Amino acid sequence: MASSAPSGPSVLDLAPVVPVVVLDDAVDAVPLARALVAGGLTAIEVTLRTPAALDAIRAIADEVPDAVVGAGTVISPAGVADSLSAGARFLVSPGWTDTLLDAMKGSGLPFLPGVSTTSEVVALLERGVTEMKFFPAEAAGGTAYLKSLSAPLPQARFCPTGGISLASAPAYLGLPNVGCVGGTWMLPADALRDKDWGRVESLAREAAALR
């Protein structure tokens, strides 16, 4: 995802939608990941927002070989190291600093540093990073903002995340500088509470068919 990352398919190109997963119980990680993969969403971002996150990443990495599990909400070098040791295969941050960027580059994993302004995009391009998370997408200007970046900064590609829905995702995916979008709509709270993995799989299949 960054130019310094290992060769291989970009996370931006694995699926049109990357589910952004928040798990309170690592026991749910494997059946949830299996449902998402069965629906066609193989790249799964597990956010480091709960105590269960690292165990969830570890379980998915160990037990769901068809999933490409990554760590989201990575905001410190310690988070980078913990995610790497848990088996994460990519990293996503809501924003970036020089210290965090150095740690993500040093991990050897593909990564998506978060941006919401033109200056942040230019600063990352200056550092050789061409693939980024645009966050919070809707609040930061949405499709109109990203479209305006495509002419002066065509080398930058984005995964917009934040406030995107099934209805709005196609407009993002139609932009030339968008590789995929991040979202949570295929993970409704009641489905997770009830462990309704069939519903999750159905919603994932609908999302995977967007492009």
The single residue of 45, 105, 131, 201 carrying the catalytic annotation is 45
- In sequence order, the β-bridge partners of residue 44 are 69
Cα→Cα distances 26→11, 76, 203, 210, Å? 23, 22, 21, 29
Q: How many Cβ atoms are within 10 Å of 144's Cβ, its own excluded?
A: 8
E strands of the chain, at which residues? 17-21, 43-47, 68-72, 91-92, 111-112, 114-115, 131-134, 157-160, 181-183
Tokens of 54: 């690292």
Is 105 catalytic? The answer is: no
Please tell me the distance from the alpha carbon of residue 118 to that of residue 177, in angstroms, as a whole number: 14
147 is catalytic: no
* Catalytic hit among 63, 105, 131, 133: 133
- Which of the residues are catalytic? 45, 133
